[in-house]
Amino acid sequence: MNDKTIDWLLQGEAWIEYRTRVDLLNQTEKDPQVVAARKAMLADVKIQSLLAELTDWPGTVLNSHKSASQSFHKLAFLADLGLRVSDSPIKKIANKVMEHQSKQGPFQLTMNIPTHFSGSGKDEWAWALCDAPIIVSALVQMGLGDDKRVKSAVEHLDGLVRDNGWPCAVSPELGKFRGPGRKDDPCPYATLVMLKVLAHVPELHERKSAKIGVETLLTLWDESKERHPYMFFMGTDFRKLKAPMFWYDILHVLDVLSHFKWARKDKRFKEMLKLVESKADEDGRYIPESIWTAWKDWDFSQKKIPSRGLTLFVHRILERTKK
């Protein structure tokens, strides 16, 4: 990336400046410029709005994991920006999250699965492998990785892996509910978000489960025209650049896989990355190709001009590939 683009990013919102200094310029958290940017980020109106909303955890009853307005996605976004349990009111939010820990280990949300999808049709506390890992990963990133409750959740979720990735799995409260696919298939999204958990626990990078999960996603990319387990495609929509990284798309997959040193060397990873890089303008900036309407006030929720937020997310991945 050229100096012109770095300067452009540094002129962005406080969270973009903060992450640019830490992730792209490799400045330390003690650097005065980093400290100032972080302080400004925490005071930002949009960040404060997200925090205020999350203090009402878990918020709206879950009926669609893909919805970008879900509280657990917003928690993950703040964790990705670098908010920590020492930041007010993160500790209060984390305590609310961990108040509802299942007997199995994962943390629960209120959800309502309709009877025609094999659910009870009632609001109940439960977890699924398409939400629990996102919550656990956020708690780890926020500095709670050594908490015994979080460790318990990580171990249970990791133990659900099969020889072809993670399945569509839910807590006992949800009965026989399962997504639209063959039960022997891996769930691409569950596999992706489970890898995100392992990605943020360095000592788990070499686990067999991590190797299986990475291979599953890379194989699905290789066979994207033939295999679409649980109706997760890697076609046109998957290849569009979109932020924040909440669902099953090329940037989210690359972001997670880029944490595993050995995955970054794989030709299939490089193929995906090359496709993303081909979308840059002459200055290495990126224009969103798809948007989350729930995030309309953010700079990546338009498809006309380069987005600083999206550009930052792409270059963070590229920066990791240099290590």
Tens digit of pLDDT for each residue in 72-121? 999 999 999 999 999 999 999 999 999 999 999 999 998 876 666 556 67
Q: What is the pLDDT of residue 117?
A: 58
CATH number, domain at 316?
1.50.10
Q: Above 70 in pLDDT, residue 61?
A: no
pLDDT band at 269 (very low <50, low <70, confident <90, very high): very high
Query: Is residue 11 included in any domain, yes or no?
Result: no
Q: Dump pLDDT digits (tens) for 129-145.
A: 999 999 999 999 999 99
Per-residue tokens: 198: 């392992």
Q: How much is the pLDDT for 123?
A: 82
Across residues 244-256, what is the average pLDDT? 97
In a domain, 40, yes or no: no
Whether 15 and 42 have beta carbons less than 8 Å apart is answered as: no
Does residue 178 surpass a pLDDT of 80?
no
Q: What is the share, in percent, of the chain residues with pLDDT greater than 70?
A: 96
What pLDDT shows up at residue 174? Answer: 78
Residue 312 pLDDT > 80, yes or no?
yes
Q: What is residue 224's three-state secondary structure?
A: coil
Q: Provide the domain limits for residue 170.
A: 61-68+85-320
Establish if 26 belongs to a structural domain. no
- Please check whether residue 297 lies inside any domain of the structure: yes
pLDDT band (50, 70, 90) for residue 167: very high
Judged against a pLDDT cut of 70, whether residue 58 lies above it is answered with: yes
Residue 38, token pair as written in the block:
């972080």
- Rounded (to 5) percent helix, strand, coil in the chain: 50, 5, 45
Question: What sign does the dihedral 29-31-300-229 (CA atoms) show?
Answer: negative
Could you tell me if residue 48 is inside a domain?
no
**102: in domain:** yes
Per-residue confidence (pLDDT) for residue 175, from 0 to 100: 74
Comparing 64 with 153, the larger pLDDT belongs to: 153
CA 267 to chain centre: 23
Residue 255, in any domain of the structure: yes
Q: What is the total count of domains within the chain?
A: 1
Mean of all residue pLDDT scores within the chain: 93
Closest to 79 (Cα-Cα) out of 167, 240, 193: 193
- With cut-offs at 50, 70 and 90, classify the pLDDT of residue 222: very high
Residue 320's pLDDT band, with cuts at 50, 70 and 90, is very high
pLDDT of residue 182: 84
Closest CA to 22 of 252, 9, 277: 9
Q: How many CA atoms lie within 13 A of 34 on its CB side?
A: 15
Q: Flag whether 272 is in a domain.
A: yes
Distance CA 143, CA 284 (A): 33
pTM, full prediction: 0.95
